[in-house]
Every structure is written in C-alpha cells, then in structure tokens.
Amino acid sequence: MFVVATAGHVDHGKSTLVHRLTGMWPDRLAEEQRRGLTIDLGFAWTTIDGRDIAFVDVPGHERFVGNMLAGVGPVPAAMFVVAATEGWMPQSEEHFAALEALGVQHVLVVISKADLADPSRTISEVRERITDAPVALGTDLDAVRAGLARLVDQLPTPPSDSDVRLWVDRSFTVRGAGTVVTGTLAAGTIRVGDQLEHNGRLLTVRGLQSLGRDRNAVSAVARVAVNLRGVDRESVRRGDAIRTPGAWLDTSEIDVALRSAGKLHQRLTLHIGSAAVPVHVRPLGDVGARLRLTRALPLRVGDIGLLRDPGAHHISAGVEVLDVRPAPLRRRGDARARAAELATGRVAPPVCVRANELRAMGFENSGLRVGEWVVSSDWWAERRQVALAAVDRWAAEHDIAAGMPFETLRQQVGLPVVDLVPALLDGTGLQLRDGLVQRPGVDLPPRVDKAVQTVREWLAAEPFRAPEAAELAELKLGPKELAAAVRAGRLTRIAEGVVLGPDAFDRAAEVLAGLPQPFTVAEAKRALNTTRRVAVPLLEQLDARGATTRADDGTRTVSDRGAGDADQVG
C-alpha cells in the first residue's frame, strides 16, 4: 500500500479530486458536509494499476493548519492541488512550506478547475515555486492516475521489521469492539495479538483493519485502524504514539538542526508525526537549537518535524532531530561547542550507553560492546588510563595497602555503573579482590610490616596462640592494619580481632588428624595448645571449608581432604 496526503489552499478542490479518484467522499463530519468545508482529516482509498493508494485529505483553511500538519506529518508523498481559477494562494504557500520543512520530496501537482479558467498562468506560478514536481490537469483523471502511479513507484520501501511507532490521528469507540485508533504506519509491522505500549501501559492489538478490510497483519507504509484492548478512547488522543514496548525513549528535550529556517521565537509549536507540542526554543548558532517540550514524545535521531508560530500563521523552521538526550549546557563554552557540533548536521552518540537505549535513541551501534553497554573505543582507552592513575594515587595517599574500592574508582573514572569496573581493568594486571583494586605485589607500609613481622615471630613459636587485643594495640595493629595484612597474605583472619599465620588452616587440620576420631572441642584445644577464644572459630572455619565434619553431638572428624584442598570461603 501507498499513502498520499493532499495539500493546497482552501476551496481548491482537494476533497472533490479525491472523491473523483476513489468514489469515496473523504469529509466524514456532518459539519463538514453542511458547510462544504474540510475541517479535519478525511480518508479514502483506491487501486490504480494494481497499486493500493490511500489518501489522507487535509483541510486547506488557515484556521485548520494544525489538522493539516497532523495528517501530513507521517506521510511520505503529497498530491498538491492548485486551482486554475485562483492560482498560487497564501495557503498554497504555507502548505508547500510545510511539505518542504517536513522533507516530503515526492509531490504531484494537480491543477484543478482547469475547465473554468486557462491553467497556463497557474502552471507558470507553480513552476516558479515548485521546480521539479510533475504537473497534471485535474480535468484529465487518467493523467492524474498515471502521475500518482509514477509518484508512488519512486517511494522507498521501509523495513517491515522496524520498531513500530504509530502516530495516532484519530481515536474512537466501536460498539462491541472497544477503542480504535487510526494512523499512518510509517515503519514496521503490526499483527493481531501484538502488545504495544502507550504512556507506559501495555495494550493488546485485538483487531486490525486497512482499506476497509480486516487484516491479521499490516506492514508499512499503510493506513491502519487498530482495535486495542486495555485502554479507553479518552486515554488516547491525536498526537499520541502507539509503539513497540521498550524500544523508544520518551524525551522532553532535544537538539535539532534547522532546515529552511525562518524567524525563530522563544515559544513555538513543534509539529512532528501527528503531534503538536508547545516548545521553548534556545537557538544554538545559526542552524541549530535546543527544544524543551511541554510533554515528552517518543523521538529518535533523524526524525523530521517543523516549528510553527500559530499566531503568525507561518512556518518558522523545519527541524531534524540530532539528539534526544542532550547533555546539559552548564559550563562556559558548552553552548558554543554544541552549536558547532549541530552545524555539522551530526551528533556523536553517547560515549557510554546501554545497547538497547542506543537503539531507542536512533544511533547506530558502532562502538565497542562491553556486556550490555556500548562504549566509544577512544573514551574507553582514556578511562583505563585514568583508572590506572587513580589506583596509583590512592596507594600513595593511603598508608595501608587496602586497595581502592570499586565504587570510589567508578566515581573518579566516570563510569555509570560499578559493574563496568572489572571490564575496564581487564588486562591491566591490577588485582581485583573483595571489591578492591590494587597493583600486584603491593607491600605493607614499613610500620605495619614491622608489627606484622613481630606477630609472625610469635606465631612461629606458638602457631595457634593468637595475639590478645592488648598486644595488637601495643603494636598499633588495628582493624585496618590487620585487614591489610590478611589481604597481603601475611596473616589469616579467624574471627574479629583474631589472627593466625597464613598457613593456619592446613597446620590445624594436620594436628587434628593425629587425634583419635571423632574429637571434642576440648581435645582440639589441648592438641592445638590454644584457648577456646581461638579454638571455637578455628573449628567453625575448618567446618565451613570442609576440612572437618561436625556431628550432632558436637564432636568432629577430620575429612579425607585437607584444608588446603578444601573450597576457600570466608
């Protein structure tokens, strides 16, 4: 199917031409039929030489330009009607400026009422304004049909597997069916049974119609009526979008390139798809701007819209969306740098973003994939150097070789999540352990090293006599110093404030294996020549490592495998 919108000045015969081509009168409202004036969007369709063509008929009166833009916004081609009796008129100019701003390049001009006036003058006026569009006389319907066939044959075929975003131009209720919305499907495919999203809610496609017939699936480009389950008619309005769940980002601030720019005011209306949203405009250079929308829309890089001043009845500028998540302009020079970037017509994607968000923003996935993230290769390499310097700086500024916490490193490097830290440091040779980062072979500070060496000399003589708290305090070995010694492999932590030598578990298992099995805590305490303060947590650690097995009566048995072969825990 192909979709073509009409355009042109009021009373130049757009609806009449559609009726003559299709046999269907597009004006559907009683007020339109009573006044003989198109007020809102009308729809009709026909088949021309095997091509199904749907028409979106738009009003030509200046009071209803907003409705006209809602119909033209998602449509790739237009049939532009100019009456021979009046020629190029003010709304001819505004409608054509709108088509230019929206990037509608496929246009067929039809000179209507050629039986009432010589069309040559009007054709000349059209040629002055539209230099490359074919022209047909409305009195020759065969020529109009042939022109439409050539027009739609030039249209690109959109991918049927694209994410769906249906801009709603009409919402109503059908008795027995529920809520129905209509729109021009510009990309993707909608199927009966699909789940689509609207304002954060999941809706089910209950039924589909296109060109007046029930369908199981409709692919772009097409006029489609979607029967939705899970929403009432009042909740869906013109300018809303029904879309693929999770595939789009709602945004209320965008950076755009200006196309066919006119005079920009601070407050204008953005027309995009079928939506019309008031925006605050901040110019960025001569060909760029930042727009702050009064309500969020699902937009992507590459979307085309236009800015209009409703009070002045003229198009201010066509816009192309370049960024749907622009960075704040806080520092001096940010706005100038952004203006220069927008002037190139292209914005670099975020340096670090989740892959699904990158797609939803409309950028190509051209960066380095790190898990679910996509990063700029240059930025990633720079972050790695920053991380190495940060780890060295941390080690120099902290007396105890505890290592730099992951979260601290994440903040200093500027990573969005701590899960990226191990990937960033992969291949750097840094040690990552228990949420800390340090260079391998980092030794203890001299004062701590000397104190730990004293403890080890004590333990060499009595391996299971853990120093008392007072002894550790005298050596100035507090919790941080002891933790650093444990991380460095110089001591083994048995319990809070209880440390033994690095081979304590293996030596204890060897001693206990020489006891009659099973054995009690008291027997273990005597064999190890230690106190209950050490024996109880030491046995519990051996239990956890699988070196010993505790029976219900509290006795224990040394397992066949030693502590050195057991799984390391704690």
Among 250-264, 327-341, 428-442, name the one with the lowest average pLDDT.
Answer: 428-442
565: pLDDT strictly greater than 60: no
Question: How confident is the model over 529-554, as pLDDT tens digits?
Answer: 999 999 999 999 999 999 999 999 99
Centroid of chain to Cα 424: 23
Task: Report the distance separating Cα 81 and Cα 79, nearest Å.
Answer: 6
34: pLDDT strictly greater than 90: no
Backbone region of residue 87 per phi and psi (left: phi > 0; alpha: psi in -120 to 50; beta: other values): left
Q: Angle, nearest 10°, between helix axes 406-413 and 377-397?
A: 130
Same CATH topology for 2-154 and 249-347?
Answer: no
Average pLDDT on 184-204 reads: 95
Can you tell me whether residue 122 is helix, strand or coil? helix
Question: How confident is the model over 427-448, as pLDDT tens digits?
Answer: 888 888 778 888 776 667 778 8
Ranges of beta strands (E only) in 49-164 are 51-57, 77-83, 106-112, 135-137
CB 314 within 8 A of CB 94: yes
Task: Report the distance separating Cα 404 and Cα 406, nearest Å.
Answer: 6
Task: Report the distance separating Cα 337 and Cα 329, nearest Å.
Answer: 10
| pTM summary value | 0.78
pLDDT level of residue 568 (50, 70, 90 thresholds): very low
35: pLDDT strictly greater than 80: no
Superfamily of domain 2-154: P-loop containing nucleotide triphosphate hydrolases (3.40.50.300)
Alpha carbon of 100 to those of 77, 150, 302: distances in Å? 11, 20, 16
113: pLDDT strictly greater than 70: yes
Question: How confident is the model over 283-318, as pLDDT tens digits?
Answer: 999 999 999 999 999 999 999 999 998 877 678 899
170: pLDDT strictly greater than 70: yes
Indicate the domain borders of the chain.
2-154, 165-243, 249-347, 348-442, 446-558
Give residue 404's pLDDT.
Answer: 87
566: pLDDT strictly greater than 60: no
Give residue 532's pLDDT.
Answer: 93
Superfamily of domain 165-243: Translation factors (2.40.30.10)
Average pLDDT on 378-404 reads: 86
561: pLDDT strictly greater than 70: no
Domain 446-558 classified CATH 1.10.3720.10? no
CB 225 within 8 A of CB 236: no
15: pLDDT strictly greater than 70: yes
> How many other CB atoms sit within 10 Å of the CB of residue 179?
21
Give residue 570's pLDDT.
Answer: 38
The structural architecture, per CATH, of the domain 249-347 is: Beta Barrel (2.40)
